[in-house]
Structures are given as structure tokens and as C-alpha cells.
Amino acid sequence: MRLILIRHGQTSSNIGHLLDTAPPGPPLTGLGHQQAGDLVSTLSGEQITGIYVSDLVRTHQTAAPLAGHLDLPVVERGGLREIQAGNEEMARYDPAAASPADHHRYFHCLKAWVGGDLTARIPGGETGHEFLERFDAVVAELQAHHECAAAVSHGAALRVWCRHRCTNLGPHFLREAPMDNGQVNIVQGSENRWRAVLWGDHPVPQ
């Protein structure tokens, strides 16, 4: 299967550096809508037969231009939702800090998950095992019905899932590689063995 993983377009919470993970979430900004529209041309060569999104507004709005162009329905699945911030919902973080993990327990847990410790629980949120279980369930559904499908999800969710399911993406790559709003990443494979073949404009390890 060819699975196209898209991070949603920009929102006001991205601009304000807020841990905004609860539904329904903010809508896209003007730039976010532009990023959504750009997906039509970016993915023009793909044979997409399914488009799935999370239950947050920003993923629906990101998928809308592509779905309209392809005349496909948008399928909502809560399993694609962002990793829950729990007690730190709407906390502000500093992207310029040397290590964001020094400032928020949320980032401490994500760092642990990327490093392989899936037992760590975000206070008021979920463990890495719980996150992967819900995300994997949606991927399994996509596999059962499509040879090529797009899933619009969220930055942390996509990083962690790819870290644990893509055989060519290690923890260093996932910590350093960009995950911009509207970024397209493509993985190929089946079940829980995948290889990343595209990560935005960043070279993918072989």
C-alpha cells in the first residue's frame, strides 16, 4: 500500500506555539488554506482512492480542496487525532529553546516514545502504546480498502507513528527532520512494516 501522510495546514495555535490537541480545535489561517489548496497540484500524480482525517476542524479543512478535486468523501476517524496534551492542553511552548523537552512534560513523553519507551504517559493523556493502537487501527482500515490513500493528521502523531512503523526512520531523523504545516510524507508497505519514501523536501534514509 502507498500511504500519503499529510500534516494539516497552519492554524492560529501554530503561530502562537500552543499545545492545542482537543477537538474541535481552531480553523486554518489564510496560509493554512493556501497550503491545503497546494495539495491538489502536489498530489496530482497519485492514484488516491480514499481520504481520511482526524476529528479536528483543521484536518477537515486541509483535506477539503483535495477531496473536492478528486470527488471523494472525507472520512473522519478519531484515531488520527493529535497526541493528547492532557493536563498541558493550550500550554505555550518556546520553539527557540535548545530543548523543548526541558519545558513541558508533553515533550518529555514524546522524546521518550521516539526513544522507544512507549510506557511513558502524558499527564492527563495517553501512553505511547495507547496512541499507536488507535492510529494503527485507522491504518489497518485504510489497508483493507485502498491501495493508495491519504490521511491528514498532526505533527507529533505522524512523527511518533513513523518512528515506530517505518523501518528506515530512526529517532535522530525524527527529532531533526522538519514537519511543516501542509507537509506531505509518503510511506509504502503493509501491516506494521513500512518504509518512508518521501518526507517533505528532506532526504529520506535508505
Cell triple for residue 87?
493536563
pLDDT at 102 over 50: no
Quote the mean pLDDT of the chain.
93
Write out the residue range of the structural domain in which residue 129 sits: 37-84+98-199
In a domain, 147, yes or no: yes
pLDDT at 147 over 50: yes
- CATH number, domain containing residue 143: 3.40.50.1240
3-state helix, strand, coil split of the chain in percent (to 5) is 40, 20, 40
In a domain, 130, yes or no: yes
Cell triple for residue 64?
477539503
In a domain, 62, yes or no: yes
In a domain, 28, yes or no: no
In a domain, 109, yes or no: yes
**71-92, pLDDT tens digit by residue?**
999 999 999 999 999 999 999 8
Give dist(CA 39, CA 153) in Å, integer: 14
What's the one-letter identity of residue 197? V
Give dist(CA 152, CA 27) in Å, integer: 14
pLDDT at 100 over 70: no
In a domain, 8, yes or no: no
pLDDT at 199 over 60: yes
- Tell me which residue has cell 512507549: 118
Tell me, what's the pLDDT at 3? 99
**32-86, pLDDT tens digit by residue?**
999 999 999 999 999 999 999 999 999 999 999 999 999 999 999 999 999 999 9
| Domain count for the chain | 1
Residue 98: partners with Cβ closer than 8 Å, 6 or more residues away: none
In a domain, 168, yes or no: yes
In a domain, 172, yes or no: yes
